Amino acid sequence: MKAHDFKVQTTWQGGRDAVGEVQGDVLQESISIPSGLGGQGVGTNPDEMLVSAASSCYIISLAAVLERAHFEDVEIAQTSIGTAVLDQGKFKMKSITHYPTITIHEDDATRLNRQLSKLLKLADQNCMISNSIRGNVAIDIEPNIQYLED
């Protein structure tokens, strides 16, 4: 098994109302509890980063799957929504739904519609974050297809 390490450093000083920092190779951001959960709402938060990780992983996997299926000039815009719930007194991420809008040439419409379900599933299966959270967080994909006119 090939391994790759992803290193981040986090710092925090104070109680739950404080603001910390997270830093990786590229990422450098303040972190705090979201204001909607009674925190400072400064910078990002672990929940948003989890949904961001899942979303960015899925869109990259989807782009790769579409490329391998020989779809060219593809544009993907995606909204992802993570739904957290209070379960037995503890917050947890219940589900993440990806809403990719795939824009392709009209000439590719029939072929994409025929392969879409398989390609969406394959992208999810190739996404490291999906593979890491599957079984604990439901992952749903609700695509929208748009066409470029030639």
Residue that the structure tokens 């996997």 belong to: 61
Q: Which residues of the chain are in CATH 3.30.300.20 domains?
A: 46-148
Span 119-128, average pLDDT: 97
Residues 6+ apart with CB under 8 A from 104: 71, 73, 74, 75, 112, 145, 146, 147, 148
pLDDT tens digits for range 35-79: 988 999 999 999 999 999 999 999 999 999 999 999 988 999 999
Q: Are 31 and 15 in contact (CB under 8 A)?
A: no
Q: What would the CATH number be for the domain defined by 46-148?
A: 3.30.300.20
Q: Which residues of the chain are in CATH 2.20.25 domains?
A: 1-44
Element housing 82 (H / E)? strand 75-87
Chain mean pLDDT for the chain: 95
Element housing 67 (H / E)? helix 46-68
Q: Which CATH number fits domain 1-44: 2.20.25, 3.30.460, 3.30.1600, 3.30.70?
A: 2.20.25
**Radius of gyration in angstroms for the set of CA atoms belonging to the chain, rounded to a whole number:** 18
- Given this model, what pLDDT does residue 150 score? 60
Tell me phi and psi for residue 149, to 5 degrees.
-85, 135
Span 126-147, average pLDDT: 96
- Given this model, what pLDDT does residue 60 score? 98
- Given this model, what pLDDT does residue 72 score? 87
Looking at the chain, the whole-number percentage of residues with pLDDT higher than 90 is 89
- Given this model, what pLDDT does residue 42 score? 96
